[in-house]
Structure 1
Amino acid sequence: MTRFTLATLQTSAGPKAAIGVGDNYYQLSEISSNNRLRDASVKSLLEDWSNLFPDLETLAHDIASNVGGVRPQHGTPSTEADLLTPIIWPNKFICVGANYADHLKEMGLSTTKWKTMPFFLSPPTTCLVGPGETVEIPKMTNQFDWELELAMVVGKRLRNATVEEAKGAIAAYTIGLDLSCRDLTVVGGDIPVDLVRGKAQDTMGPCGPFLVPAKFLPDVTNLKLTLDVNGKQMMNSCTSEMLYSCEEMLSVMSEFITLEPGDLIFTGSPAGSAGAHGGCWLKPGDRIHAEIEGIGAFNVRMKRC
């Protein structure tokens, strides 16, 4: 079995779906003789995931085995690739909150499993950006904070799904950063929380750098998560701190909304956000380096809007 990733490359012809094998990315439009792959975006691959995943497995094996004429020189080295967020326009981008025991403990809250799982829709997909100098700090905030999250991608339509059905619908995983304007989230009065100004402005949902198919990560319940800001470690936790598992989250969500292939879900953050470090808020020029075991690393840099 050849492990591969899926990415979206920025090219002179626009965004192109690519398969990552070894240290290179290969544009599907350039190397595949399969019409269903050659003309696909990452999102359209997910929309027919059960049928196209075997084709992607075959392609990855052929690339790794030098079968079919595809050579490393036909790809783009990972160090040179201009990566966008993997799924540019998901139908839904959903965030789960208060899902890590260590984060709740850090905030002085009960670490027992919530009876009702907190989650919210973050409608603007303009939140999503890929790696690089891509994050614009909103002008009106002085408390720009980070959260590192395991992100999962749906590969089947789900409605009122059991936990087992939900587990089988997870197509892939990636890395998400849920950035927040802490001073804009809490507004007081009759409407105490503003999640749009606080958590859903443009570029505040970096995600990437690629998708790792769930087949290559069969167990995500004990993955290490770390986050550094300018080389200093700020987060060091594990997905074992989750209160709701990935499949439980999907099952609960599907009770209220129909989940579709390509939907992106951020699964909550562990402890270690800026507030836990004395309020060392992000500023222009700061660099975040985030890693999740089994997936890889993701880097973004801040700039002023």
Structure 2
Amino acid sequence: MKFATFRYETTQDRVGLVTDDDRLIDLSSLAAENDLLQFVTTHQDSLAELGERIEQSELPSYHTSQVQLRAPIPTPNTLRDCMAFEAHLVNCTRTVAKWKLPPVALADRVCERVFGRGFLRPPREWYRRPIYYKGNPHSVVGHEAEVHWPGYTEQLDFELEFGIYIGKQGKNIPASEATGYILGYTIFNDFSARDVQLAEMQGRLGPAKGKDFDTGNALGPWLVTPDSVPDPYHLAMSVRVNDELWCETSSRDMHFTFEEIIAYLSRDETLYPGDFIGAGTAPGGCGLELDRWLQPGDVVELEVEHLGKLRNRVIRAH
């Protein structure tokens, strides 16, 4: 099932059920305070039955093209983003090496051709635990929202990601039980001021202004419940910029599963309903890996199997 937060002809948020023919059934009369998180968590154990009743009801509905889609949970409690794909980190390291240390980049390519594996790898610690950072939940925007190009960067980048919302409170959650804490999935475009990020992280901390700017976290288009995602670790994923295909990849090679990530994050720290956790960038899913860069006015569309399409235009705001 797919649920959305949307606006129709007003600035008031509403909760909707998304049908297979791209219509939104308005659940305002059923959802207290028009809060998607509260609605889905309240009915979590009977969603399938509820969905059938809703689709057979006479509640008002709109085509998705008629409404403004907000992020599923417009302001998550927290926003954590991991780096669960080894190939993403390897590809980014290779691009930076190509810029700054061309002989090293060449040697790595030769090593990969000869031995099937280059030497520019993540540090050992990366393989031991799911590294993450905390982003700003107040900079979240939704599908079709404009993303403002920060005035301090020349290299605004996209990141093809997906992630989960936590559905119930928990602490010290075993990985074997963590699936039950996943409320649903959505697509995440973690826009990044790449030149600033690379400079900041030389100080052994961050990312800071490389990630923190208004409208920098795009989430959507809706929340998809786990019953509609047969295997989150084999999802086809792609990026299009101005309708041109830039990347085709998948979620297949996550080094850590969401269940393992939940177990790690909840060590002596309580997770709450509405927390968002990103998996990190899928292999090939950002401009830094491809050494291709966005320009003001570009439209970035991320697509993830079963989760839909998330589209945003980047604009100069300064």
Short-chain TM bin: 0.7 to 0.9
Q: 1:233 aligns with which of 245, 248, 261?
A: 245
Instruction: From the two aligned structures, give the one with the greater helix fraction.
Output: 2
1:54 shift after superposition: 4.2
Aligned partner of residue 290 in structure 1, secondary structure: strand
Out of 181, 184, 207, the residue aligned to residue 172 of structure 1 is 184
Q: What SS does the aligned partner of 1:126 have? A: helix
Q: Retained in 2: the 8 A contact 1:135–1:204?
A: yes
Question: Deviations along 1:87-143, whole A, 9 cap, x unmatched?
Answer: 01211111102x213213313442686113211111x22221001142001011001
Counterpart of 1:161 in 2: which secondary structure? coil
Q: Which residue is 1:78 aligned to? A: 64
Tell me the CA shift for residue 190 of structure 1: 7.7
Matches within 5 A, 1:151-190: 151-187=163-199
Matched, 1:5 2:2: yes
Q: Which amino acid aligns with 1:62?
A: R
The 1:13–1:268 alpha-carbon spacing in structure 2 relative to 1, beyond 3 Å, is: closer
Alpha carbons of structure 1 residues 184 and 20: separation in structure 2 relative to 1, 3 Å = same
**Partner in structure 1 of residue 14 of structure 2:** 16
Return closer, same or farther for 1:286/1:170 CA change in 2, 3 Å cut-off.
same
Deviations 1:146-177 (A, max 9, x none): 11111111111121110022111111000000
Give a deviation string over 1:199-229, Cα, whole Å, max 9, x none: 1211111000000001221421111111111
| Structure 1 residue 105 corresponds to structure 2 residue 103 | no
- CA distance in 2 between counterparts of 1:28 and 1:254 reads 33
Aligned identity (percent) is: 26
Cα shift at 1:189? 9.1
After TM superposition, list the pairs within 5 Å mapping 1:115-130 onto structure 2. Answer: 115-122=128-135, 124-130=136-142
1:38-53 mapped onto 2 (5 Å cutoff) = 38-46=32-40, 49=41, 51-53=42-44
C-alpha RMSD over aligned residues: 2.1
Partner of 2:100: none
Q: Secondary structure at the match of 1:186?
A: helix
Matched residue of 2:208: which SS? helix
Change (3 A) 1:190 1:56: closer
Q: Per the alignment, do residues 227 and 189 of structure 1 end up closer, same or farther by CA in structure 2, a change over 3 Å counting?
A: closer
- Amino acid across the alignment from 1:45: F
CA distance in 1, matches of 2:180, 2:301: 31
Report the secondary structure of 1:104's partner residue. helix
TM-score, L = length of structure 1: 0.87
TM-score by length of 2: 0.83
After superposition, what is the alpha-carbon deviation per residue over 1:47-67, rounded to whole angstroms, capped at 9, x for unaligned?
xx2x41245433320243x3x
Aligned to 1:114, which of 127, 132, 145? 127
Deviation per CA, 1:22-63: give whole Å up to 9, x if none.
Answer: 321122114x3xxxx3444012235xx2x4124543332024
Q: Unaligned stretches of 5+ in structure 2?
A: 95-119
The residue identity in structure 2 corresponding to 1:85 is A
With over 3 angstroms needed to count, the CA separation of the structure-2 counterparts of 1:158 and 1:54, relative to structure 1, is closer
In 1, distance between residues paired with 2:200 and 2:215? Answer: 25
Determine the structure 1 residue equivalent to 2:27: 28
The answer as to whether partners of 2:88 and 2:289 remain within 8 angstroms in 1 is no
Determine the structure 1 residue equivalent to 2:283: 271
Q: What corresponds to 2:101 in structure 1?
A: none
Q: How many angstroms does 1:256 deviate by?
A: 4.7
**Which residues of 2 match residues 257-296 of structure 1 at below 5 A?**
257-272=269-284, 273-278=286-291, 280-296=292-308
Unaligned ranges ≥5, structure 1: none
Q: Distance in 1 between matches of 2:184 and 2:18?
A: 14
Whether the 8 Å contact between 2:233 and 2:252 is mirrored in structure 1 is yes
Match of 1:136? 148
Q: Secondary structure at the match of 1:167?
A: helix
Cα deviation for residue 266 of structure 1 reads 0.9
Q: Does 1:92 align with 2:78?
A: yes
